[in-house]
Amino acid sequence: MGKGDIKTKRGKIVRGTYGVRRKREKRKETVMAVKAKEAKAEAEAKAKVKEEAEAKVKAEVKEEAEEVKKTEAEKKPVEIKKETEEKKIAEKKKATAAKKTAEKKPVEKKKETAVKKATEKKPVEKKKETVVKKAAEKKSENKAKKDGSKESDKD
């Protein structure tokens, strides 16, 4: 029985296998692994404490909100009506102020239309201008023809 025997310890060592006759040694945890586990446990504990604190704060906020609702409900209906009326009046004032700034005064509108009318040309004036332009064009054409005939005579 030697190195070739599968069941003996010597055979197991040679092959590099483990079994019933040759058990593996259990590894001991290193210091680093132990510290990592402890750190993880501490982090989890801190997270739990933080979550509990947040839950308490949320509960307190809810309670305060409920108290505010109760106090508003206890207000007299007359006071509530006054507040709403004041809000409506303020909104109406804002709306009217906006309209006034957006709209032009009638006097200003009249001035603008008068200026536009003064700057616009009447149809009769437009016709006169076109007639004058056409006449000027014809004169320039006639001069060009005369100048062209004089130049051809000189050659």
Residue 77: C-alpha distances to residues 59, 70, 83, 84 (Å): 30, 14, 10, 11
Task: Specify whether the CB–CB gap between 55 and 46 falls below 8 A.
Answer: no
Q: How far apart are CA 26 and CA 12, in angstroms?
A: 17
Phi-psi region of 113 (alpha: psi -120 to 50; beta: other; left: phi over 0): alpha
**Residue 152: in which H helix or E strand, if any?**
helix 123-154
Give tens-digit pLDDT for 96-131: 877 766 665 556 666 677 777 666 666 677 777 888
Label residue 152 by pLDDT band (50, 70, 90): low
The pTM for the full model equals 0.29
Give tens-digit pLDDT for 43-61: 999 999 999 999 999 999 9
Question: Is the pLDDT at 9 greater than 60, yes or no?
Answer: yes
Question: Is the pLDDT at 155 greater than 50, yes or no?
Answer: no
